[in-house]
Structure 1
Amino acid sequence: MKRADKTLIALLAEMPGTRTLPEPVRERIACEAYDSIHQRNEFVVRAGDPVHSWVGVADGLLKITNACRSGKVVMFTGVPSGGWFGEGSVIKTGVRRYDVIAMRPTRVIHIPRTTFRWLLDTSFEFNHFIIGQLNERLSQYLGMVEADRLTDPVARLARAISGMFNPVLYPNMGEKLPISQEELGELAGLPRQRANIAIKQLSAMGCVHAEYGSLVVTDLAALRNYQEREV
């Protein structure tokens, strides 16, 4: 069965953060959660929106961005299938501080704030997961600050690709990333032509192998070391 056709309870049994919870807990979450479908370039949430839910990607790909006063759009990260975002915003009060946009047709799961808080109050397992997410998210954003200074397109692309293979934030990711070269360029802040050249360079180094509509990471350690060396 395709993920787009699965019920919420079936998806929650597969998603990190909920799949290890007892079945009665997942059933309650499924009763209170809801999903939505977004086409390419549609907003999932906008900066300034009230925070009503914790959001997960059941199937598809999102990008998290922010527009500065100068007009420059800052790309924070991509969120692939199996990833969650916004736990910090749900814990705090206030509004979203970023835009989240679908990069392709995407199905997302919304766990309401009240359900999220109930899980924090009652589940040690869920608390452990959220603490891990928050810690890893901090490291991720510190890395983004450094990566924003990169001028080498190959280093920018290496950073964007390796970020999608974070084992804590995106544990469902295998060796193959279903993504187009255009989407990769968008995540790295590169024009499509420069992204294509950078992919060929990483492929020649043995880090990745490009296939139609996807990218196979053949040496993740080398990919991470490349971006770290260039920062």
Structure 2
Amino acid sequence: MSQSFLLSADAWRACRAADPAVDGSLTRMILESAPPIDCPSVYIRRVFRLGETMPSSSSLVLRDRLLEAPWAKHLTAEQLVRVEAETQVIKYTAGSVVFQEGEPAEHWLGVLDGMVKVDTVSADGRSTTFIGVSSGGWLGEGSMLKRELRPYEVVTLRDSWIALMPVKTFDWLFETSLAFNHFLVRQLNARLGQFVAVVESCRMQSTTAQVAVCVAELFNPTLCSVTSDALRISQEEIARLCGLSRQIANRALHELQAAGFVRMQYGSIHVLDVNGLHAFGRGVELRHDAPRLVVDVAHPH
């Protein structure tokens, strides 16, 4: 009776190096029977048995993205295998509640593809959005470390692939991986800076400044994957993340365009100056000779 094994990304690359005949068009490789002797033992996790449905190509690609997360790059082979074996990758439709406010923090959340908002709803039904987290971002480590009930809810803004790492896996990495701890320190520091910027813009600056901070933080390289075409966001989504009406957010975007920070075209918003957006959000005038970080944000049709 044959069994099927799913190679991790590292093991697949190692097999490719050992045997160039391996099909290079696949990100993962399914092997019938036992794995070859010359394949390193870094991999091998059986993910389905005879009669079970083989995972879709989309979910396999997203699992590769899990292993390429910044915190995973310096894990040992043993740690990578356990992380992949115990972390779920689930697709949520737009508007799904991934975490509910007040529930135990039992998973660390990663946005492999898509976008979520972190918000809370008051007793009288008023909703406040704290932050948005785009592709490549991870959140919820504070509640995991403090063993507290989750003080917010997490809702998908669009169809999203979400990774959920169980608390036992998170704790094991926290106890065994110095590199993972270094990542958490950088992440928590960046998140603190993000909340300081959001609070400052809300209490001391204009609604245009709030929009500037919101857009800029979606391109924080410490908190998400920053690429020229990785993020698609609509004006309506920006309004939701800022806690503003679409009309006010649209007016703010036009003001930011007039200031040279963004350029709006039909079906798209181009972010021209992330540093300028940060400075504008804090009421600081950016020097003309300061370096600019240029990112292109596509607007979904």
TM-score (norm 1): 0.90
Q: CA deviation at 1:4?
A: 4.4
Instruction: Compute the TM-score of the two structures, normalised by the length of structure 2.
Output: 0.70
How many residue pairs were aligned? 229
Amino acid at match of 1:50: P
By percentage of residues, which structure has more helix? Answer: 1
**1:12 matches 2:12:** no
Q: Displacement of 1:50 after TM fit?
A: 1.3
1:152 lines up with 2:212 in the alignment: no
C-alpha distance in 2, partners of 1:112/1:13? Answer: 16
What SS class does the counterpart of residue 51 from structure 1 fall into? coil
The aligned counterpart of 1:110 is: 164
Following superposition, the deviation at residue 167 of structure 1 comes to 2.1
Q: Which runs of 5+ in 1 are unaligned?
A: none
- CA distance in structure 2 between the aligned counterparts of 1:14 and 1:212, rounded to whole angstroms: 34
Change (3 A) 1:150 1:185: farther
Whole-angstrom distance in 1 between the partners of 2:269 and 2:105: 34
1:171-215 alpha-carbon deviations (Å, 9 max, x no partner): x11245310111011111222122222212212221112355543
How far 1:224 moved relative to its partner? 1.1
The answer for the alignment partner of 1:90 in structure 2 is 144
Change in Cα spacing, 1:76 to 1:151, as seen in structure 2 (3 Å) is: same
Bigger radius of gyration: 2
Q: Does residue 121 of structure 1 match 2:175?
A: yes
Corresponding residue for 1:25? 79
CA-to-aligned-CA distance 1:96-151 (integer Å, 9 cap, x gap): 11010000001100111000111011111001001111122222222222233256
Alpha-carbon separation, structure 2, partners of 1:115 and 1:212: 45
Q: Which of 161, 173, 180 pairs up with 2:226?
A: 173
Q: Tell me the distance in 1 between the aligned counterparts of 2:265 and 2:99.
A: 31
Whole-angstrom CA distance in 1 between matches of 2:220 and 2:256? 19
Question: Hey, what's the Cα distance between the residues in 1 that align with 2:74 and 2:271?
Answer: 28
Is the contact made by 1:56 and 1:84 (CA closer than 8 Å) also made in structure 2?
yes
SS at match of 1:62: strand
CA distance in 2, matches of 1:75, 1:47: 13
Please give the per-residue CA displacement for 1:33-87, whole angstroms capped at 9, x wherever unaligned.
1022211111010101111111000000000001233543221000000000000
Aligned 8 A contact 2:200 2:282 in 1: no
For residues 137 and 268 of structure 2, what CA distance do their matches in structure 1 show?
Answer: 18
* Alpha-carbon distance between aligned partners in 1 of 2:100 and 2:126, rounded to the nearest angstrom: 16
CA contact (8 A) 1:67 1:73 kept: yes
How far, CA to CA, are the matches of 1:30 and 1:36 in structure 2? 13
Measured after TM superposition, the shift of residue 168 of structure 1 is: 1.4
C-alpha separation in 1, matches of 2:265 and 2:232: 9
Q: CA RMSD in A?
A: 2.2
**How far did residue 159 of structure 1 move?**
1.2
**Which runs of no fewer than 5 residues in structure 2 stay unpaired?**
1-26, 28-56, 285-301
> Alpha-carbon deviations, 1:152-181, whole Å to 9, x = none?
2311110110111222112x1124531011
Q: Secondary structure at the match of 1:221?
A: helix
User: Which structure exhibits the higher relative contact order, with contacts defined as CA atoms closer than 8 Å and separated by 6 or more residues?
Assistant: 1
Query: Given the alignment of the two structures, is residue 191 of structure 1 paired with residue 245 of structure 2, yes or no?
Result: yes
